[in-house]
Amino acid sequence: MAGEQLIWLMVGLLLLALLFHWRKQNIIELGLAGAGWLALTFFIGWRWQLSGHPPVFGIFENSLAGAWFLITTYFLNRFSPLLAIAALLLSYGWWFNRLPVPLTISERSWWVDVHAFFAWLGFTAFWSAWVLAWSKAEKRSQPRWRRSLLNYLNLAFFAWTAMLATGMWYQHLLFGSWWRWDFIEVVSLLVWLTNAWTLHYLHFQSEFPLIGLWLVRIIPLLLLVAFFGLFLLLITGSFHVFDLQFMR
């Protein structure tokens, strides 16, 4: 589809925005990032009209949704690494099946959309915390840094809890069970438990331990496993993974 070539235009705009960020030309950086965001928003809307559903199906659509949330969050916190992550997601997703696929009857539910919304909200909050976790040591000693990290992890905890709850409820409606030992569900539960442990330290300990810092850095890597199947290409038993075939 010709419209899919817009993906590479978006990637180029995001990379140029990063270049001008490095050169400290903030106005140009914002303009390029804004152009990339507008192009992505247009493409998602166009594809939504074709497929009849928001971007909730398959790795390609996951990359669109993830990149949109990351770029939107960039305009709120100005964390430039989010643009790099968005560009990587778009580039990665392009290699998977890009054909619009209508949802099956069981997938045509607003519960699926709500579940996906909270998943992406948590995804973006975790990546924002990840950026903060790589701050320099002198910045990490400031109370403002601790408050910002706490805010993002609290948001991630709320969103991830809502994502798990809506997923369990819809699974109960479909299959009559609240939990399956699906690989994606297990990884998502590990993310939730890790975040809960990290929040415990932030709330009740005066000093944030180094292991907690590394856990904040590791969580987004678990998310990449859960959302994009980086290590799931040989796994076919998960009903969360829809398209494991690369486009040749």
**pLDDT, tens digit, for every residue of 170-203?**
888 887 888 888 777 888 888 899 888 888 877 7
- How far apart, in whole angstroms, are the C-alpha atoms of residue 141 and residue 207? 9
Residue 82 predicted with pLDDT over 60: yes
Residue 240 confidence (pLDDT) above 80: no
What's this model's pTM, rounded to 2 decimal places? 0.87
Query: 246 has which bridge partners?
Result: 96
The string of pLDDT tens digits covering residues 138-167 is 677 777 888 898 899 999 999 999 999 999
Whether the Cβ atoms of residue 163 and residue 118 lie closer than 8 Å to each other: yes
Per-residue b/e over 204-241, b at no fewer than 16 CB within 10 Å?
A: eeeebeeebbebbeebbeebbbbbbbeebeeeeebeeb
Say how far apart CA 177 and CA 175 lie, in whole Å.
6
Q: Which residue has the tokens 């709850």?
A: 165
What single-letter amino acid sits at 137?
A
Beta carbons within 8 Å of 110's beta carbon, 6+ residues apart: none
Token pair 């699906």: residue: 182
Alpha-carbon gap, residue 141 to 208, rounded angstroms: 10
Helix H or strand E encompassing 72: helix 58-77
